Amino acid sequence: MSLRVDEGEIVALLGNNGAGKTSTLSAISGLVRSSGGRIVFDGQDITRAKPPEIVGMGLVHVPEGRRIFSTLSVQENLQMGGYPVRDQAEIQRRIDHVYDLLPRLAERRDQEGGTLSGGEQQMLAIGRAIVAGPRLLMLDEPSMGLAPLVVAAVMRVIAQINASGTSVLLVEQNARAALRIAHRGYVVENGRCVLDAPAAELAGDERVVDAYLGGT
């Protein structure tokens, strides 16, 4: 597996279930140990770094399934994202930024996370990651289980985050949605990158169309 994300990019990681996409994100964020090779972030080898150290460097992972704290309020969930930050005023400034970006969360700031809709929970998971101050945001299947209109809204938010200067590595089963906002993409099969091209080229590649875009 060999891939890169350049500063300011959205890079999509596409592939079928079991191809190794989630494992790749978990290895980068230190949740699992890679058996070989090197992981480099901003010129620094982080292959053996611990997850809190990696987050502190600005590499933040939104896992598959959202994993919000269901009994905590929206505000409390966002505060949890600020655990690497000692300045409480800075944490609140970041939370206010999330509320500006995602006004639905502001409306529900006192509501328990578990009572939100699926789309709102995904927005909350992304918002919590923003509070951590990502330079590279890794998202694992953010569209999973969401209605098409909600998927479009999530993708717009990801594009907005990227436009503000945050690089994004996006694992996404919905290849069509991912390639609409990505700059480049990789196709992963059996733990190996088998295609690497600009997003527009992948969207027009017959192999990608047949395998991931429904043949249209």
Paired tokens of 144: 């999973």
Q: Are 105 and 127 contacting, i.e. CB atoms less than 8 angstroms apart?
A: yes
pLDDT above 80: residue 19: yes
What pLDDT digit, counting tens, does each position of 160-213 carry?
A: 999 999 999 999 988 999 999 999 999 998 888 998 999 999 988 887 877 776
Average of pLDDT values for 151-159? 94
CATH code of the domain in which 128 resides: 3.40.50.300
- Structural contact between residues 94 and 131, judged by C-beta atoms closer than 8 angstroms: yes
* 198 bridge partner residues: 184
Tokens of 68: 């919000």
Is 104 domain-assigned?
no
CA distance 188 to 5: 15
User: Does the predicted model carry a pTM greater than 0.85?
Assistant: yes
Please report whether residue 78 resides in a domain: no
Asked if residue 147 is part of any domain, the answer here is yes
Is residue 183 a part of any domain in this protein? yes
Question: What ranges in the chain are assigned the alpha helix state H?
Answer: 21-28, 51-56, 74-81, 88-101, 103-107, 118-131, 148-163, 175-181, 199-204, 206-212
Domain-embedded: residue 182: yes
Q: How far apart are CA 190 and CA 154, in angstroms?
A: 28
Confirm whether 20 is domain-assigned: yes
Residue 88 lies in a domain: no
Tens of pLDDT, residue by residue over 27-78, are 999 999 888 899 999 999 999 999 999 999 999 999 888 889 999 999 999 9
pLDDT, tens only, 79-130 = 999 988 888 999 999 999 999 999 999 999 999 999 999 999 999 999 999 9
Task: Using the predicted structure, report yes or no on whether residue 22 has a pLDDT greater than 80.
Answer: yes
Residue 215 has pLDDT above 50, yes or no: no
HSE of 168, CA atoms in CB hemisphere, 13 A: 31
Considering the domain boundaries, does residue 27 fall inside one?
A: yes
Tens of pLDDT, residue by residue over 126-152, are: 999 999 999 999 999 999 888 899 999
| Domain range enclosing 16 | 10-68+120-212
Number of structural domains in the chain: 1
Instruction: Give residue 214's pLDDT.
Output: 58
What is the average pLDDT value for the chain, to the nearest integer? 91
Rg (C-alpha) for the chain, rounded Å, is: 17
**Residue 216 predicted with pLDDT over 50:** no
